[in-house]
Chains A and B, each alone.
Chain A
Amino acid sequence: MRYLLRRAAFYAVALWAAVTLNFALPRMMPGNPMQVLVAKFRGRINPDALYAYAKLFGLDRHVSLWAQYWQYIGQLLHGNLGVSLGLYPETVSAALMQALPWTLFLLGLSTLISFILGTLLGMVSAWRRGSFLDAVAPTVFTLTGSFPYFWLALLLLYFFAFQLPWFPLGHAYGSSTSGWSFANLPDILYHAVLPALTIVVTSIGGWLLSMRNNMINTLSEEYVKVAKAKGLSDRRIMMTYAARNAILPNVTSFALSLGFILSGAILTEVVFSYPGLGYTLFQAVGNMDYPMMQGALLLIALAVLVANFIADLVYVKLDPRARQG
């Protein structure tokens, strides 16, 4: 319990840091952000949107930075992320809420697949040291793990959507269907194949290699020898003796590497025009849509924090030492 409380306190501080960073970002721009915006858009910007933006960030009045800061936090607490400059008059929170499920779906699906596959492959290749699988799998997935996400995405797109028209060229669903419903699931899955494959192929190597290394360490432990001496079946030793302990560090790195995978997913979303948070963020950057950028960044940070907390809960469940500590 104390462990979880400590973690919760840490996430609170991290969230505060993310919020503060978000507050500081538009203010780090040289010069007056309003003037920059007006100059960038050369009159194409909606004056109402500009006014709403100025008001949200306290740029219209000469209030102290400190007062602006509290005002910003107050607005965040009310869930007010402002109005999008690019998609005016849509609010930032509405646009982000539309994008969030897609990212959760794509990232969740592919991370789960890659975690399970990688961990299993790592387990088996450590168990069969020096076998064909142990020689090939780590090498191949080291290589694919170094592929830049966006380049692999481009290649898959080129071969399996363009040369061989097996899969769609992008987007999360076809023109006939829209949004989430059970009936649309086949279509949604069909559109998710290539983006998910990109993320799985590039992230599987990490799980595989760390599981293999952990497993090699646990396999040389005394209790594994004892289990062997007792004449337990190989399968039982591998699964319930060695792998069970070897998987613990993988759960921790699962949480930590989520940020990395998320970064990759952003690039993947951009290549496939997949309407998730990454694509939204990318479009916001192109539109100089500061409220949207800030909102997306905050939501991504929040999502990673929540995912980490869930990983902590799992860890506590798996490792009795964490429960006491």
Chain B
Amino acid sequence: MQIMALDPPPRQDMGAGRTRKKKGLLTRAAPFLRNRKAVSGAVLLVFFLFIAVFAPLLTKINPDSTAFMPLQPPSAAHPLGTTSMGQDVFSQFVWGTQSSLFVGVVAGVGAMVLSVLVGMLSGYIGGVVDEVLQLITNIFLIIPGLPLVIVLAAVLPFGGNLPMIIVIVLTGWAWGARVLRSQVLTMRELPYVESAKMGGESAWNIVFRELLPNMISLIFANLLFSILYAVLTAAGLQFLGLGDLKAVNWGTMLYWSDTEGALLSGAWWWFVPPGLSIALLGAGLSLLNYAVDELTNPKLRSLPLRLRALRRRRAS
């Protein structure tokens, strides 16, 4: 799933953004709305964002409260049943969604910012700076993230979300930096960049005012991938029991359901919602990612329906 982010969109798309006339929002969004992957991905993402934002309205029960009968299957009072400690799973799920999305989005944005800075500056400036930054990027790429994160999590004092976010940003930026660097390399020589250079623009301005706006789709794809990485890594760490075990999020829900033997007592309502949510959010993010890829690379688009029907007729 990570490999997809590597495919840079075709070059010919790049300069086009400048000359294109301003279109209405609806006409611009049309290809996006016609793309099935984009729509289903967006729906999944919006669903979880909705839960996260409206968490206080969705449940009135305190997720930490242990006032209920333990291990109750779903019922009207507890739509997702209760844990072995007598907590309401629905309330935990709702607040856990908020917490997990928060970590995912903040760490994802952090990693993206770092990869934009490193990747684009390294690609544009070139020379020794590029060599050094590229070396660092490649080292971060090659040293496996999770084992490092696990050890860091064990060594650093872990309280609250901040250390986890820092650790995820530090291990998650390298892919994006590499992709963005190679894209900048292909755009560096384009006429409009050259003319900006002649006009005496600073490197910073050229990179962030001239190049950046034309790479938005790539950066957006990179952001989706970073958020996915952050959500999965955070959940993995929390599932291993690293991080704040008192916090309520998808990862700790799975940790407690596993250590309390929800699997063996058949309490599916406890371990299915958080795991399925991670999977669905992940699927939503990757679907959007592929959609961006398809929309910027016409070769990859699904065949038009008419052509498909034609083929089928010929085959039969």
Identify the A interface with B (CB < 8 A): 10, 13-14, 17-18, 21, 25-26, 28-30, 129-130, 142-143, 145-151, 154-155, 157-158, 162, 205-207, 209-210, 213, 216-217, 220, 249-250, 253, 256-260, 262-264, 266-267, 270, 278, 281-282, 285-286, 288, 290, 293-294, 296-297, 300-301, 304-305, 308
Which residues of A sit under 8 angstroms from B75, Cβ to Cβ?
A: none
Q: Does B303 contact A (CB under 8 A)?
A: yes
| Distance between Cα atoms of A183 and B236 in the complex (Å) | 36
Pairs across A and B, CB under 8 Å, 25 listed: A10-B135, A21-B143, A28-B156, A142-B283, A142-B290, A143-B279, A146-B278, A147-B282, A149-B236, A151-B271, A154-B254, A155-B275, A157-B263, A207-B3, A213-B300, A220-B299, A253-B2, A256-B142, A260-B144, A262-B147, A266-B146, A267-B146, A267-B240, A281-B151, A285-B150
Is the CB–CB distance between A148 and B282 below 8 Å?
yes
Which applies to chain B's interface (DSSP): helix, strand, loop or mixed? helix
Is the CB–CB distance between A151 and B279 below 8 Å?
yes
Given contacts A143-B279, A297-B147, 6 further A-B contacts (CB under 8 A): A28-B156, A29-B157, A154-B271, A213-B4, A266-B150, A297-B148
Known: A300-B144, A304-B143. A213 touches B7 (CB 8 A): yes
Which residues of A sit under 8 angstroms from B303, Cβ to Cβ?
A: 129-130
CB distance from B226 to the nearest CB of A (A): 14
Contact of A293 among B141, B142, B154, B282 (CB under 8 A): B154
Is the CB–CB distance between A270 and B283 below 8 Å?
no
CB distance from A199 to the nearest CB of B (A): 13
Is the CB–CB distance between B264 and A162 below 8 Å?
yes
Is the CB–CB distance between B302 and A130 below 8 Å?
yes
Which residues of B sit under 8 angstroms from A26, Cβ to Cβ?
A: 155
Considering the complex, give the chain A residue whose CB is closest to the CB of B272.
Answer: A155
| Distance between Cα atoms of A143 and B139 in the complex (Å) | 30
Q: 8 closest Cβ contacts across the A-B interface?
A: A146-B282, A263-B146, A151-B275, A259-B144, A210-B3, A145-B1, A146-B283, A130-B308
Is the CB–CB distance between A308 and B4 below 8 Å?
no
Which applies to chain A's interface (DSSP): helix, strand, loop or mixed? helix
Is the CB–CB distance between B4 and A151 below 8 Å?
no
Known: A130-B303, A130-B308, A297-B148. A209 touches B4 (CB 8 A): yes
Contact of A158 among B263, B300, B311 (CB under 8 A): B263
Known: A10-B138, A25-B152. A263 touches B145 (CB 8 A): yes
Contact of A130 among B145, B258, B307 (CB under 8 A): B307
Considering the complex, give the chain A residue whose CB is closest to the CB of B285.
Answer: A146
Is the CB–CB distance between A267 and B287 below 8 Å?
no
| Distance between Cα atoms of A257 and B229 in the complex (Å) | 13
Q: Does B6 contact A (CB under 8 A)?
A: yes
Which residues of B sit under 8 angstroms from A146, Cβ to Cβ?
A: 1, 228, 278-283, 285-286
CB distance from B176 to the nearest CB of A (A): 13
- Give the A-B contact count at a CB cut-off of 8 A: 172
Contact of A205 among B1, B135, B142, B258 (CB under 8 A): B1
Which residues of A sit under 8 angstroms from B150, Cβ to Cβ?
A: 266, 281-282, 285
Known: A129-B303, A288-B154, A293-B154. A308 touches B142 (CB 8 A): yes
| Distance between Cα atoms of A35 and B296 in the complex (Å) | 56
Chain B interface residue number, banded: 35 or more
Which residues of B sit under 8 angstroms from A296, Cβ to Cβ?
A: 147
Considering the complex, give the chain A residue whose CB is closest to the CB of B231.
Answer: A148
Is the CB–CB distance between A257 and B2 below 8 Å?
yes
| Distance between Cα atoms of A267 and B278 in the complex (Å) | 15
Q: Does B212 contact A (CB under 8 A)?
A: no
Q: Does B232 contact A (CB under 8 A)?
A: yes
Which residues of A sit under 8 angstroms from B263, Cβ to Cβ?
A: 154, 157-158, 162
Q: Does B235 contact A (CB under 8 A)?
A: yes
Most A-side CB within 10 Å, residue of B7, B236, B268, B299: B236
| Distance between Cα atoms of A208 and B191 in the complex (Å) | 37
Contact of B236 among A28, A150, A213, A250 (CB under 8 A): A150
Considering the complex, give the chain B residue whose CB is closest to the CB of A30.
Answer: B157
Which residues of A sit under 8 angstroms from B6, Cβ to Cβ?
A: 210, 249, 253
Known: A257-B2, A257-B3. A148 touches B143 (CB 8 A): no
Q: Does B218 contact A (CB under 8 A)?
A: no
Considering the complex, give the chain A residue whose CB is closest to the CB of B307.
Answer: A130
| Distance between Cα atoms of A155 and B236 in the complex (Å) | 15
Considering the complex, give the chain A residue whose CB is closest to the CB of B287.
Answer: A142
